[in-house]
Amino acid sequence: MKYNRILLKLSGEALMGNQNSGIDPSRLDAYAKQIKEIHLQGVEVAIVIGGGNIFRGVSGASKGMDRVQADYMGMLATVINGLALQSALENNDVPTRLQTAIKIEAIAEPFIKRKATRHLEKGRVVIFGSGTGNPFFTTDSAAVLRAIEIGADVILKGTRVDGIYNADPEKDRTASKFDQLSFDEVLKKGLKVMDTTAFTLSQENELPIIVFDINTPGNLTRIVKGDNVGTKVYL
């Protein structure tokens, strides 16, 4: 395997499937089966999931809600998604632990780096909920932070498009895809990969990012084997 330990970043919207909000059980099960496939091959998998399918803090703040309160609501939304993904994985016989940055000990472990690493070494998938535990930080930032803390080889950002384009491929049919880019090229071209804080943190720690289509079965397996899937951003 090219990658032995990965951090998979999923958006909350990815869980909606064709719905307008909430969680599509069939989409959740499809993701669980993809994760199980690489887990069975010995890949250590950690996951950070967003909460945009339930509540997005920035959106709430734009409508007059206190930003700090709104962000905490968004963190709780990621925990709901984490519980749903944990259930789907365990229904597929994948041992899983959910850790959260804010203490909700009745349903999840508090995040402890050494404990998370030990779970991974023992073959458990670890889901990190509630972002960084701090308002004003996105789950992109949480994904990079956790990836660095656990010593992940790469961040895999699962989206509904098959990589990074020079324009929005869902709006512009002439948009062209990049197979790979350096961090500097992303900045020069003004491409949106992650928010600025997350992207800078990844660049400073020389942590590559692969943006790929999570909705195509088999893509996760192909990536960890080293196939050219999606768009790779490297130093």
Residues 192/10, Cβ–Cβ less than 8 Å: no
Residues 72, 125 within the same domain: yes
Residues 138, 170 within the same domain: no
Residues 123, 143 within the same domain: yes
**How many CB atoms are located within 10 Å of the residue 192 CB?**
10
Asked if residue 31 is part of any domain, the answer here is yes
Q: What is the pLDDT of residue 60?
A: 73
Asked if residue 22 is part of any domain, the answer here is yes
Q: What is the pLDDT of residue 173?
A: 86
Confidence of residue 12 (pLDDT cuts 50, 70, 90): very high
> Domain containing 177: what range?
165-183+227-235
Q: What is the pLDDT of residue 58?
A: 73
Residues 145, 233 within the same domain: no
User: What is the rounded CA–CA span in Å between residue 47 and residue 35?
Assistant: 10
Q: What is the pLDDT of residue 109?
A: 98
Q: What is the pLDDT of residue 155?
A: 98
Q: What is the pLDDT of residue 19?
A: 86
Q: Dump pLDDT digits (tens) for 166-202.
A: 988 888 889 999 999 999 999 999 998 999 999 999 9
pTM reported for the whole predicted model: 0.95
Who contacts 138 (Cβ-Cβ below 8 Å, separation ≥6)? Answer: 131, 195, 197, 198
pLDDT of 57 strictly over 80: no
Residue 181's DSSP bridge partners are 233
Residues 23, 46 within the same domain: yes
Residues 129, 178 within the same domain: no
Residues 10, 116 within the same domain: yes
For 149-153, 190-194, 220-224, which range has the lowest pLDDT when averaged over its residues? 190-194
Q: Count the domains in the chain.
A: 2
CATH at residue 104 = 3.40.1160.10
pLDDT of 88 strictly over 90: yes
pLDDT of 65 strictly over 80: yes
